[in-house]
Structure 1
Protein backbone atom coordinates (compact mmCIF):
# COMPACT_ATOMS: atom_id res chain seq x y z
CA UNK A 1 0.00 0.00 0.00
CA UNK A 2 1.34 3.42 -1.03
CA UNK A 3 1.88 5.98 1.73
CA UNK A 4 4.04 6.70 4.77
CA UNK A 5 4.26 3.54 6.89
CA UNK A 6 5.11 3.84 10.59
CA UNK A 7 8.08 1.76 11.78
CA UNK A 8 8.14 3.03 15.35
CA UNK A 9 6.28 5.65 17.38
CA UNK A 10 8.68 7.79 19.45
CA UNK A 11 5.96 9.91 21.07
CA UNK A 12 2.62 11.49 20.18
CA UNK A 13 4.31 13.95 17.82
CA UNK A 14 7.21 11.98 16.32
CA UNK A 15 7.46 8.67 14.51
CA UNK A 16 10.06 6.78 12.50
CA UNK A 17 8.48 5.83 9.20
CA UNK A 18 9.19 4.51 5.72
CA UNK A 19 8.47 7.15 3.08
CA UNK A 20 7.78 6.00 -0.51
CA UNK A 21 10.29 8.53 -1.92
CA UNK A 22 12.87 9.03 0.86
CA UNK A 23 13.05 5.65 2.60
CA UNK A 24 13.40 5.65 6.39
CA UNK A 25 12.62 9.09 7.78
CA UNK A 26 11.63 10.86 10.96
CA UNK A 27 8.12 12.29 10.70
CA UNK A 28 7.25 15.28 12.90
CA UNK A 29 3.76 16.66 13.38
CA UNK A 30 1.21 17.37 16.07
CA UNK A 31 -0.44 14.03 16.85
CA UNK A 32 1.26 11.94 14.12
CA UNK A 33 2.11 9.20 16.62
CA UNK A 34 -1.05 9.38 18.69
CA UNK A 35 -2.84 5.97 18.90
CA UNK A 36 -0.69 4.56 16.09
CA UNK A 37 1.49 1.49 15.89
CA UNK A 38 4.02 -0.20 13.62
CA UNK A 39 2.67 -0.80 10.12
CA UNK A 40 0.00 1.93 10.28
CA UNK A 41 -0.19 4.26 7.29
CA UNK A 42 -0.36 7.96 8.09
CA UNK A 43 -3.58 9.45 6.68
CA UNK A 44 -3.38 11.94 3.82
CA UNK A 45 -5.22 14.64 5.80
CA UNK A 46 -2.12 14.86 8.02
CA UNK A 47 0.16 15.56 5.05
CA UNK A 48 0.02 19.37 5.29
CA UNK A 49 0.49 19.24 9.07
CA UNK A 50 3.66 17.19 9.27
CA UNK A 51 7.33 17.46 8.33
CA UNK A 52 9.63 14.74 7.06
CA UNK A 53 13.31 14.79 8.06
CA UNK A 54 15.22 13.20 5.18
CA UNK A 55 18.79 13.92 6.35
CA UNK A 56 20.21 11.21 8.62
CA UNK A 57 22.17 13.87 10.49
CA UNK A 58 19.03 15.95 11.18
CA UNK A 59 17.12 12.80 12.16
CA UNK A 60 19.81 11.85 14.69
CA UNK A 61 20.02 15.38 16.11
CA UNK A 62 16.25 15.69 16.47
CA UNK A 63 16.01 12.34 18.27
CA UNK A 64 18.67 13.58 20.73
CA UNK A 65 16.38 16.50 21.65
CA UNK A 66 13.40 14.29 22.51
CA UNK A 67 14.42 13.35 26.10
CA UNK A 68 14.77 17.07 26.94
CA UNK A 69 11.36 18.22 25.79
CA UNK A 70 7.88 17.42 27.06
CA UNK A 71 5.25 16.62 24.44
CA UNK A 72 3.12 19.70 25.11
CA UNK A 73 6.09 22.01 24.59
CA UNK A 74 7.10 20.03 21.52
CA UNK A 75 3.59 20.38 20.06
CA UNK A 76 3.78 24.16 20.59
CA UNK A 77 7.12 24.42 18.79
CA UNK A 78 5.85 22.22 15.93
CA UNK A 79 2.92 24.63 15.60
CA UNK A 80 5.26 27.62 15.35
CA UNK A 81 7.32 25.93 12.62
CA UNK A 82 4.13 25.06 10.78
CA UNK A 83 3.16 28.75 11.01
CA UNK A 84 6.57 29.83 9.65
CA UNK A 85 6.19 27.33 6.81
CA UNK A 86 2.80 28.82 5.89
CA UNK A 87 4.13 32.39 5.94
CA UNK A 88 7.32 32.10 3.89
CA UNK A 89 7.79 31.43 0.17
CA UNK A 90 9.15 28.02 -0.83
CA UNK A 91 10.11 25.27 1.58
CA UNK A 92 12.17 25.53 4.77
CA UNK A 93 15.52 23.84 5.24
CA UNK A 94 14.76 20.92 7.54
CA UNK A 95 17.49 21.98 9.99
CA UNK A 96 15.01 24.48 11.43
CA UNK A 97 13.36 21.60 13.33
CA UNK A 98 16.57 20.96 15.23
CA UNK A 99 17.95 24.51 15.38
CA UNK A 100 14.79 26.41 16.32
CA UNK A 101 13.50 23.70 18.70
CA UNK A 102 16.82 23.70 20.54
CA UNK A 103 16.94 27.51 20.63
CA UNK A 104 13.38 27.93 21.91
CA UNK A 105 13.94 25.35 24.66
CA UNK A 106 16.99 27.25 25.92
CA UNK A 107 15.30 30.65 25.51
CA UNK A 108 12.20 29.63 27.49
CA UNK A 109 14.41 28.06 30.16
CA UNK A 110 16.50 31.26 30.43
CA UNK A 111 13.39 33.41 30.90
CA UNK A 112 12.00 31.04 33.55
CA UNK A 113 15.30 31.34 35.43
CA UNK A 114 15.34 35.14 35.20
CA UNK A 115 18.19 35.24 32.71
CA UNK A 116 18.09 37.38 29.56
CA UNK A 117 20.61 37.01 26.74
CA UNK A 118 21.52 40.32 25.13
CA UNK A 119 21.38 40.49 21.35
CA UNK A 120 24.03 42.98 20.18
CA UNK A 121 22.98 42.62 16.52
CA UNK A 122 19.24 43.17 16.99
CA UNK A 123 18.95 46.47 15.07
CA UNK A 124 21.03 45.15 12.16
CA UNK A 125 18.91 41.98 12.08
CA UNK A 126 15.62 43.93 11.99
CA UNK A 127 16.92 46.17 9.19
CA UNK A 128 18.38 43.33 7.12
CA UNK A 129 15.48 40.89 7.45
CA UNK A 130 12.25 42.85 8.12
CA UNK A 131 9.89 40.16 6.78
CA UNK A 132 11.48 37.35 8.79
CA UNK A 133 11.41 39.64 11.85
CA UNK A 134 7.62 40.06 11.50
CA UNK A 135 7.21 36.28 11.27
CA UNK A 136 9.49 35.85 14.32
CA UNK A 137 7.23 38.23 16.29
CA UNK A 138 4.29 35.98 15.40
CA UNK A 139 6.29 32.96 16.64
CA UNK A 140 6.81 34.72 19.99
CA UNK A 141 3.06 35.38 20.24
CA UNK A 142 2.20 31.73 19.51
CA UNK A 143 4.70 30.55 22.13
CA UNK A 144 3.31 33.00 24.69
CA UNK A 145 -0.24 31.85 24.00
CA UNK A 146 0.75 28.17 24.31
CA UNK A 147 3.22 28.34 27.21
CA UNK A 148 2.33 31.55 29.04
CA UNK A 149 5.98 32.65 28.76
CA UNK A 150 6.82 35.91 26.98
CA UNK A 151 10.21 36.09 25.30
CA UNK A 152 12.14 39.42 25.16
CA UNK A 153 12.76 41.38 21.94
CA UNK A 154 16.35 40.19 21.68
CA UNK A 155 15.05 36.64 21.23
CA UNK A 156 12.91 37.78 18.29
CA UNK A 157 16.17 38.76 16.60
CA UNK A 158 17.69 35.31 17.17
CA UNK A 159 14.54 33.60 15.87
CA UNK A 160 14.62 35.91 12.83
CA UNK A 161 18.07 34.54 11.93
CA UNK A 162 16.83 30.95 12.28
CA UNK A 163 13.94 31.72 9.93
CA UNK A 164 16.13 33.52 7.38
CA UNK A 165 18.66 30.70 7.50
CA UNK A 166 15.94 28.13 6.74
CA UNK A 167 14.39 30.26 3.98
CA UNK A 168 17.63 30.95 2.07
CA UNK A 169 19.01 27.46 2.82
CA UNK A 170 22.19 28.75 4.45
CA UNK A 171 23.93 27.68 7.64
CA UNK A 172 22.91 29.79 10.64
CA UNK A 173 26.59 30.49 11.34
CA UNK A 174 26.93 32.04 7.88
CA UNK A 175 23.83 34.24 8.33
CA UNK A 176 25.12 35.27 11.76
CA UNK A 177 28.52 36.08 10.32
CA UNK A 178 27.05 38.59 7.85
CA UNK A 179 24.98 40.34 10.55
CA UNK A 180 28.09 40.65 12.71
CA UNK A 181 30.14 41.91 9.77
CA UNK A 182 27.58 44.64 9.01
CA UNK A 183 27.52 45.60 12.70
CA UNK A 184 31.34 45.82 12.72
CA UNK A 185 31.35 48.00 9.59
CA UNK A 186 28.72 50.35 11.04
CA UNK A 187 30.80 50.66 14.24
CA UNK A 188 33.90 51.55 12.22
CA UNK A 189 31.97 54.22 10.26
CA UNK A 190 30.73 55.75 13.53
CA UNK A 191 34.27 55.81 14.95
CA UNK A 192 35.87 57.29 11.84
CA UNK A 193 33.19 59.93 11.26
CA UNK A 194 32.92 60.57 15.02
CA UNK A 195 29.16 60.26 15.51
CA UNK A 196 26.57 57.81 16.84
CA UNK A 197 23.82 56.72 14.48
CA UNK A 198 20.17 56.69 15.46
CA UNK A 199 19.37 53.00 14.97
CA UNK A 200 15.73 53.87 14.24
CA UNK A 201 16.55 56.37 11.49
CA UNK A 202 16.08 56.04 7.74
CA UNK A 203 19.80 56.89 7.29
CA UNK A 204 20.78 53.92 9.43
CA UNK A 205 18.42 51.63 7.52
CA UNK A 206 19.86 52.81 4.17
CA UNK A 207 23.44 52.37 5.34
CA UNK A 208 22.88 48.83 6.63
CA UNK A 209 21.10 47.80 3.45
CA UNK A 210 23.80 49.35 1.27
CA UNK A 211 26.46 47.39 3.15
CA UNK A 212 24.43 44.19 2.90
CA UNK A 213 23.83 44.62 -0.84
CA UNK A 214 27.58 45.19 -1.27
CA UNK A 215 28.28 41.94 0.60
CA UNK A 216 25.70 40.11 -1.53
CA UNK A 217 27.32 41.37 -4.74
CA UNK A 218 30.77 40.28 -3.53
CA UNK A 219 29.49 36.81 -2.64
CA UNK A 220 27.81 36.51 -6.05
CA UNK A 221 30.96 37.76 -7.89
CA UNK A 222 28.73 40.45 -9.40
CA UNK A 223 30.72 43.21 -11.05
CA UNK A 224 29.40 46.77 -11.30
CA UNK A 225 30.77 49.40 -13.66
CA UNK A 226 33.42 51.71 -12.28
CA UNK A 227 32.91 55.36 -13.19
CA UNK A 228 36.59 56.40 -13.47
CA UNK A 229 36.03 60.16 -13.56
CA UNK A 230 33.79 60.07 -10.50
CA UNK A 231 36.33 57.91 -8.63
CA UNK A 232 39.08 60.49 -9.24
CA UNK A 233 36.79 63.36 -8.21
CA UNK A 234 35.66 61.63 -5.01
CA UNK A 235 39.22 60.79 -4.03
CA UNK A 236 40.23 64.45 -4.37
CA UNK A 237 37.09 66.08 -2.95
CA UNK A 238 36.21 63.64 -0.14
CA UNK A 239 39.45 61.95 0.98
CA UNK A 240 38.10 61.01 4.45
CA UNK A 241 35.09 59.16 3.05
CA UNK A 242 37.11 57.68 0.18
CA UNK A 243 39.76 56.28 2.54
CA UNK A 244 37.07 55.00 4.92
CA UNK A 245 35.32 53.25 2.01
CA UNK A 246 38.57 51.40 1.25
CA UNK A 247 38.99 50.42 4.89
CA UNK A 248 35.49 48.91 4.80
CA UNK A 249 36.29 47.07 1.58
CA UNK A 250 39.50 45.58 3.03
CA UNK A 251 37.53 44.30 6.03
CA UNK A 252 34.96 42.74 3.68
CA UNK A 253 37.72 41.08 1.65
CA UNK A 254 39.30 39.65 4.80
CA UNK A 255 35.98 38.33 6.15
CA UNK A 256 34.46 37.08 2.90
CA UNK A 257 37.73 35.77 1.42
CA UNK A 258 36.75 37.24 -1.94
CA UNK A 259 37.96 40.21 -3.98
CA UNK A 260 35.84 43.38 -3.94
CA UNK A 261 35.68 45.37 -7.17
CA UNK A 262 37.04 48.95 -7.07
CA UNK A 263 33.68 50.33 -8.16
CA UNK A 264 32.25 49.41 -4.74
CA UNK A 265 34.57 52.04 -3.20
CA UNK A 266 32.98 54.71 -5.39
CA UNK A 267 29.44 53.89 -4.34
CA UNK A 268 30.41 53.48 -0.71
CA UNK A 269 32.21 56.87 -0.76
CA UNK A 270 29.12 58.55 -2.21
CA UNK A 271 26.94 56.98 0.47
CA UNK A 272 29.33 57.95 3.27
CA UNK A 273 29.60 61.50 1.96
CA UNK A 274 25.81 61.91 1.99
CA UNK A 275 25.80 60.61 5.53
CA UNK A 276 28.61 62.95 6.63
CA UNK A 277 26.83 65.94 5.09
CA UNK A 278 23.71 65.16 7.15
CA UNK A 279 25.75 64.85 10.33
CA UNK A 280 27.27 68.29 9.82
Structure 2
Protein backbone atom coordinates (compact mmCIF):
# COMPACT_ATOMS: atom_id res chain seq x y z
CA UNK A 1 0.00 0.00 0.00
CA UNK A 2 1.04 3.57 -0.62
CA UNK A 3 0.19 6.87 1.03
CA UNK A 4 -2.37 9.08 -0.70
CA UNK A 5 -2.43 11.81 1.92
CA UNK A 6 -0.78 12.53 5.27
CA UNK A 7 -3.05 14.01 7.94
CA UNK A 8 -0.48 14.01 10.72
CA UNK A 9 2.34 11.83 12.09
CA UNK A 10 -0.11 9.09 13.04
CA UNK A 11 -2.92 9.22 10.45
CA UNK A 12 -2.71 8.70 6.68
CA UNK A 13 -5.03 8.04 3.76
CA UNK A 14 -4.37 4.98 1.62
CA UNK A 15 -6.17 2.56 -0.72
CA UNK A 16 -6.81 -1.12 -0.06
CA UNK A 17 -6.53 -4.03 -2.51
CA UNK A 18 -10.10 -3.52 -3.72
CA UNK A 19 -9.45 0.13 -4.53
CA UNK A 20 -11.33 1.64 -1.58
CA UNK A 21 -9.85 4.68 0.11
CA UNK A 22 -9.14 3.90 3.77
CA UNK A 23 -7.73 5.74 6.76
CA UNK A 24 -4.86 4.10 8.60
CA UNK A 25 -3.62 4.99 12.07
CA UNK A 26 -0.43 4.01 13.83
CA UNK A 27 2.34 5.74 15.72
CA UNK A 28 4.72 7.43 13.28
CA UNK A 29 2.84 6.14 10.22
CA UNK A 30 2.91 9.58 8.57
CA UNK A 31 6.14 10.90 10.06
CA UNK A 32 8.18 12.62 7.30
CA UNK A 33 6.06 10.73 4.75
CA UNK A 34 4.74 12.02 1.44
CA UNK A 35 2.04 10.92 -1.01
CA UNK A 36 3.35 8.00 -3.04
CA UNK A 37 5.52 6.62 -0.24
CA UNK A 38 5.06 2.98 0.71
CA UNK A 39 3.38 2.27 4.04
CA UNK A 40 5.13 0.31 6.75
CA UNK A 41 2.31 -2.16 7.42
CA UNK A 42 3.93 -3.20 10.70
CA UNK A 43 3.06 0.25 12.08
CA UNK A 44 -0.68 0.03 11.27
CA UNK A 45 -2.78 -0.13 14.42
CA UNK A 46 -6.29 0.57 13.12
CA UNK A 47 -7.99 0.72 9.72
CA UNK A 48 -11.05 2.90 9.19
CA UNK A 49 -13.26 2.35 6.16
CA UNK A 50 -15.44 5.36 5.27
CA UNK A 51 -18.92 3.86 4.93
CA UNK A 52 -22.36 5.15 3.90
CA UNK A 53 -20.77 7.51 1.38
CA UNK A 54 -18.62 9.37 3.91
CA UNK A 55 -15.83 11.50 2.52
CA UNK A 56 -12.45 9.87 3.32
CA UNK A 57 -10.68 13.22 3.60
CA UNK A 58 -13.21 14.57 6.11
CA UNK A 59 -13.13 11.38 8.13
CA UNK A 60 -9.33 11.32 8.13
CA UNK A 61 -9.17 14.94 9.27
CA UNK A 62 -11.63 14.19 12.08
CA UNK A 63 -9.57 11.22 13.28
CA UNK A 64 -6.39 13.26 13.11
CA UNK A 65 -7.94 15.87 15.41
CA UNK A 66 -8.63 13.30 18.15
CA UNK A 67 -5.83 12.24 20.52
CA UNK A 68 -4.70 8.70 19.53
CA UNK A 69 -5.24 7.40 23.06
CA UNK A 70 -8.90 8.46 22.89
CA UNK A 71 -9.36 6.68 19.56
CA UNK A 72 -7.86 3.53 21.07
CA UNK A 73 -10.05 3.88 24.16
CA UNK A 74 -13.18 4.22 22.01
CA UNK A 75 -12.17 1.24 19.89
CA UNK A 76 -11.67 -0.98 22.94
CA UNK A 77 -14.88 0.19 24.61
CA UNK A 78 -16.96 -0.37 21.48
CA UNK A 79 -15.76 -3.96 21.30
CA UNK A 80 -17.71 -4.46 24.54
CA UNK A 81 -20.82 -2.84 23.07
CA UNK A 82 -20.59 -4.89 19.88
CA UNK A 83 -20.55 -8.12 21.90
CA UNK A 84 -23.48 -7.03 24.07
CA UNK A 85 -25.57 -5.87 21.11
CA UNK A 86 -24.45 -8.84 19.01
CA UNK A 87 -23.71 -6.64 16.02
CA UNK A 88 -20.84 -5.20 14.02
CA UNK A 89 -20.35 -1.48 14.57
CA UNK A 90 -19.04 0.42 11.54
CA UNK A 91 -15.92 2.57 11.55
CA UNK A 92 -17.81 5.85 11.77
CA UNK A 93 -19.25 4.81 15.15
CA UNK A 94 -15.72 4.39 16.54
CA UNK A 95 -14.80 7.83 15.25
CA UNK A 96 -17.99 9.41 16.60
CA UNK A 97 -17.50 7.82 20.02
CA UNK A 98 -13.81 8.79 20.14
CA UNK A 99 -14.75 12.37 19.30
CA UNK A 100 -17.48 12.36 21.95
CA UNK A 101 -15.24 10.84 24.63
CA UNK A 102 -12.44 13.28 23.85
CA UNK A 103 -14.78 16.25 24.22
CA UNK A 104 -16.32 14.79 27.40
CA UNK A 105 -12.87 14.34 28.92
CA UNK A 106 -11.99 17.96 28.09
CA UNK A 107 -15.26 19.18 29.62
CA UNK A 108 -14.58 17.33 32.87
CA UNK A 109 -11.08 18.77 33.00
CA UNK A 110 -12.52 22.26 32.47
CA UNK A 111 -15.30 21.77 35.04
CA UNK A 112 -18.10 22.05 32.48
CA UNK A 113 -21.23 19.98 33.18
CA UNK A 114 -23.92 19.10 30.62
CA UNK A 115 -27.52 18.10 31.23
CA UNK A 116 -28.66 15.57 28.63
CA UNK A 117 -32.29 15.72 27.46
CA UNK A 118 -34.27 12.66 26.36
CA UNK A 119 -33.11 10.67 29.39
CA UNK A 120 -36.55 9.10 29.88
CA UNK A 121 -37.00 8.40 26.17
CA UNK A 122 -33.61 6.73 25.79
CA UNK A 123 -34.13 4.51 28.82
CA UNK A 124 -37.52 3.34 27.53
CA UNK A 125 -36.84 3.21 23.81
CA UNK A 126 -33.27 1.89 23.75
CA UNK A 127 -32.65 -0.14 26.93
CA UNK A 128 -30.09 -2.46 25.30
CA UNK A 129 -28.07 0.40 23.84
CA UNK A 130 -28.23 2.30 27.13
CA UNK A 131 -26.99 -0.75 29.07
CA UNK A 132 -24.11 -1.16 26.59
CA UNK A 133 -23.36 2.58 26.85
CA UNK A 134 -23.24 2.35 30.65
CA UNK A 135 -20.65 -0.42 30.35
CA UNK A 136 -18.68 1.76 27.93
CA UNK A 137 -18.64 4.59 30.48
CA UNK A 138 -17.54 2.17 33.22
CA UNK A 139 -14.76 0.81 31.00
CA UNK A 140 -13.57 4.31 30.08
CA UNK A 141 -13.69 5.60 33.66
CA UNK A 142 -11.60 2.69 34.88
CA UNK A 143 -8.83 4.06 32.67
CA UNK A 144 -9.13 7.79 33.40
CA UNK A 145 -7.78 9.88 36.25
CA UNK A 146 -10.83 12.17 35.99
CA UNK A 147 -13.93 10.05 35.31
CA UNK A 148 -16.64 11.33 33.00
CA UNK A 149 -20.22 11.54 34.38
CA UNK A 150 -22.44 8.48 34.22
CA UNK A 151 -24.96 10.59 32.28
CA UNK A 152 -22.63 10.46 29.28
CA UNK A 153 -24.18 7.03 28.71
CA UNK A 154 -27.31 8.82 27.40
CA UNK A 155 -25.43 10.44 24.51
CA UNK A 156 -23.29 7.35 23.90
CA UNK A 157 -26.44 5.21 23.67
CA UNK A 158 -27.70 7.49 20.90
CA UNK A 159 -24.44 6.96 19.00
CA UNK A 160 -25.13 3.22 19.20
CA UNK A 161 -28.72 3.76 18.10
CA UNK A 162 -27.48 5.92 15.23
CA UNK A 163 -25.58 2.94 13.84
CA UNK A 164 -28.82 0.97 13.76
CA UNK A 165 -30.78 3.74 12.09
CA UNK A 166 -28.15 3.90 9.34
CA UNK A 167 -28.73 7.64 8.96
CA UNK A 168 -25.13 8.65 9.41
CA UNK A 169 -26.31 11.77 11.24
CA UNK A 170 -26.59 11.92 15.02
CA UNK A 171 -28.85 14.99 14.85
CA UNK A 172 -31.26 12.84 12.83
CA UNK A 173 -31.20 10.22 15.58
CA UNK A 174 -32.06 12.90 18.16
CA UNK A 175 -34.91 14.04 15.91
CA UNK A 176 -36.25 10.50 15.49
CA UNK A 177 -35.99 9.87 19.24
CA UNK A 178 -38.07 12.99 19.87
CA UNK A 179 -40.52 11.74 17.26
CA UNK A 180 -40.88 8.45 19.18
CA UNK A 181 -41.93 10.47 22.22
CA UNK A 182 -44.47 12.41 20.17
CA UNK A 183 -45.94 9.20 18.72
CA UNK A 184 -46.42 7.72 22.19
CA UNK A 185 -48.06 10.98 23.28
CA UNK A 186 -50.52 10.71 20.36
CA UNK A 187 -51.13 7.06 21.19
CA UNK A 188 -51.87 7.83 24.84
CA UNK A 189 -54.11 10.76 23.97
CA UNK A 190 -56.08 8.62 21.52
CA UNK A 191 -56.73 5.94 24.12
CA UNK A 192 -56.91 8.24 27.11
CA UNK A 193 -54.45 6.23 29.17
CA UNK A 194 -50.70 5.69 29.59
CA UNK A 195 -48.88 2.79 27.94
CA UNK A 196 -46.09 0.77 29.54
CA UNK A 197 -43.10 1.20 27.23
CA UNK A 198 -41.26 -1.72 28.83
CA UNK A 199 -43.63 -4.39 27.49
CA UNK A 200 -42.87 -6.83 24.68
CA UNK A 201 -45.57 -5.19 22.54
CA UNK A 202 -44.02 -1.76 23.04
CA UNK A 203 -40.60 -3.17 22.13
CA UNK A 204 -42.04 -4.68 18.94
CA UNK A 205 -43.71 -1.37 18.09
CA UNK A 206 -40.46 0.52 18.59
CA UNK A 207 -38.50 -2.02 16.54
CA UNK A 208 -41.06 -1.75 13.75
CA UNK A 209 -40.72 2.04 13.75
CA UNK A 210 -36.93 1.86 13.70
CA UNK A 211 -36.99 -0.30 10.58
CA UNK A 212 -39.71 1.91 9.16
CA UNK A 213 -37.39 4.92 9.44
CA UNK A 214 -34.65 2.97 7.68
CA UNK A 215 -37.07 2.03 4.88
CA UNK A 216 -38.14 5.66 4.58
CA UNK A 217 -34.51 6.76 4.37
CA UNK A 218 -33.92 4.28 1.54
CA UNK A 219 -37.24 4.96 -0.19
CA UNK A 220 -38.34 1.36 0.31
CA UNK A 221 -41.75 1.53 2.00
CA UNK A 222 -43.98 -1.53 2.15
CA UNK A 223 -46.25 -1.25 -0.87
CA UNK A 224 -47.54 -4.71 -1.80
CA UNK A 225 -51.27 -4.96 -2.33
CA UNK A 226 -53.09 -6.20 0.79
CA UNK A 227 -56.47 -4.59 0.16
CA UNK A 228 -58.55 -7.50 1.48
CA UNK A 229 -56.41 -7.82 4.61
CA UNK A 230 -56.50 -4.05 5.11
CA UNK A 231 -60.29 -3.98 4.98
CA UNK A 232 -60.50 -6.86 7.45
CA UNK A 233 -58.11 -5.17 9.91
CA UNK A 234 -59.96 -1.84 9.67
CA UNK A 235 -63.19 -3.66 10.50
CA UNK A 236 -61.67 -5.73 13.30
CA UNK A 237 -59.72 -2.87 14.92
CA UNK A 238 -61.48 0.42 14.08
CA UNK A 239 -60.05 2.28 17.09
CA UNK A 240 -56.51 1.09 16.37
CA UNK A 241 -56.91 2.04 12.72
CA UNK A 242 -58.12 5.53 13.64
CA UNK A 243 -55.13 5.92 15.94
CA UNK A 244 -52.75 4.63 13.24
CA UNK A 245 -54.09 7.34 10.91
CA UNK A 246 -53.25 9.96 13.54
CA UNK A 247 -49.74 8.52 13.88
CA UNK A 248 -49.42 8.53 10.10
CA UNK A 249 -50.37 12.21 9.93
CA UNK A 250 -47.63 13.05 12.45
CA UNK A 251 -45.07 10.94 10.59
CA UNK A 252 -45.91 12.49 7.22
CA UNK A 253 -45.72 15.99 8.69
CA UNK A 254 -42.40 15.37 10.44
CA UNK A 255 -40.74 13.28 7.72
CA UNK A 256 -42.10 15.18 4.72
CA UNK A 257 -43.11 12.03 2.83
CA UNK A 258 -46.42 10.33 2.08
CA UNK A 259 -46.80 6.97 3.81
CA UNK A 260 -48.23 3.97 1.96
CA UNK A 261 -51.44 2.21 2.95
CA UNK A 262 -49.48 -0.92 3.77
CA UNK A 263 -47.31 0.93 6.28
CA UNK A 264 -50.55 2.19 7.89
CA UNK A 265 -51.78 -1.41 7.97
CA UNK A 266 -48.75 -2.60 9.93
CA UNK A 267 -48.98 0.41 12.25
CA UNK A 268 -52.58 -0.53 12.95
CA UNK A 269 -51.64 -4.08 13.92
CA UNK A 270 -48.96 -2.82 16.31
CA UNK A 271 -51.32 -0.27 17.84
CA UNK A 272 -53.97 -2.97 18.31
CA UNK A 273 -51.45 -5.20 20.05
CA UNK A 274 -50.36 -2.36 22.33
CA UNK A 275 -53.96 -1.45 23.13
CA UNK A 276 -54.71 -5.03 24.15
CA UNK A 277 -52.21 -4.79 26.99
CA UNK A 278 -53.53 -3.89 30.47
CA UNK A 279 -53.45 -0.20 31.36
CA UNK A 280 -50.55 0.97 33.51
CA UNK A 281 -50.96 2.88 36.73
CA UNK A 282 -50.64 6.66 36.37
Contact in 2 for aligned 1:217/1:223 (Cα 8 Å): no
Q: Secondary structure at the match of 1:16?
A: strand
Q: Secondary structure at the match of 2:142?
A: helix
Alignment correspondent of 1:260? 259
Alpha carbons of structure 1 residues 207 and 230: separation in structure 2 relative to 1, 3 Å: closer
Residue from 222, 230, 237 that aligns with 1:234? 237
Alpha carbons of structure 1 residues 185 and 98: separation in structure 2 relative to 1, 3 Å: same
Alignment correspondent of 1:202? 200
Is the aligned partner of 1:145 residue 2:142?
A: yes
Q: Distance in 2 between matches of 1:233 and 1:24?
A: 54
Contact in 2 for aligned 1:27/1:51 (Cα 8 Å): yes
Alignment correspondent of 1:136? 133
Alpha carbons of structure 1 residues 20 and 196: separation in structure 2 relative to 1, 3 Å: closer
Alignment correspondent of 1:102? 99
Contact in 2 for aligned 1:126/1:133 (Cα 8 Å): yes
Contact in 2 for aligned 1:84/1:135 (Cα 8 Å): yes
Q: Distance in 2 between matches of 1:51 and 1:83?
A: 18
Deviation at 1:223, TM superposition (A): 2.2
Contact in 2 for aligned 1:15/1:28 (Cα 8 Å): yes
Alpha carbons of structure 1 residues 270 and 78: separation in structure 2 relative to 1, 3 Å: closer
1:93-116 alpha-carbon deviations (Å, 9 max, x no partner):
x43354222222233344553624
Q: Distance in 1 between matches of 2:30 and 2:60?
A: 22
Is the aligned partner of 1:158 residue 2:155?
A: yes
TM-score with structure 2 setting the length: 0.70
Deviation at 1:171, TM superposition (A): 1.5
Contact in 2 for aligned 1:6/1:37 (Cα 8 Å): no
Alignment correspondent of 2:209? 211
Is the aligned partner of 1:16 residue 2:17?
A: no
Q: Secondary structure at the match of 1:170?
A: coil
Deviation at 1:254, TM superposition (A): 2.1
Deviation at 1:144, TM superposition (A): 1.2
Q: Where do 5+ consecutive residues of structure 1 fail to align?
A: none
Contact in 2 for aligned 1:135/1:160 (Cα 8 Å): yes
Contact in 1 for aligned 2:25/2:47 (Cα 8 Å): yes
Q: Distance in 2 between matches of 1:167 and 1:267?
A: 21
Deviation at 1:248, TM superposition (A): 0.3
Q: Distance in 2 between matches of 1:212 and 1:169?
A: 10
- Superposition pairs for residues 1-280 of structure 1, below 5 Å? 3=1, 10=8, 14-16=10-12, 18-19=14-15, 26-29=23-26, 32-33=27-28, 38=33, 41-44=39-42, 47=44, 49-52=45-48, 55-63=56-64, 65-66=65-66, 69=67, 72-81=69-78, 89=87, 92=90, 94-111=91-108, 113=111, 115-120=113-118, 121-127=121-127, 130=128, 132-148=129-145, 149-152=147-150, 154-166=151-163, 169-172=166-169, 173-216=171-214, 218=216, 219-224=219-224, 225-226=226-227, 227=229, 228-235=231-238, 238=239, 241-277=240-276, 278-279=278-279
Alpha carbons of structure 1 residues 36 and 186: separation in structure 2 relative to 1, 3 Å: same
1:175-196 alpha-carbon deviations (Å, 9 max, x no partner):
3333222221012212332323
Q: Distance in 1 between matches of 2:107 and 2:93?
A: 20
TM-score with structure 1 setting the length: 0.70
Alpha carbons of structure 1 residues 272 and 254: separation in structure 2 relative to 1, 3 Å: same
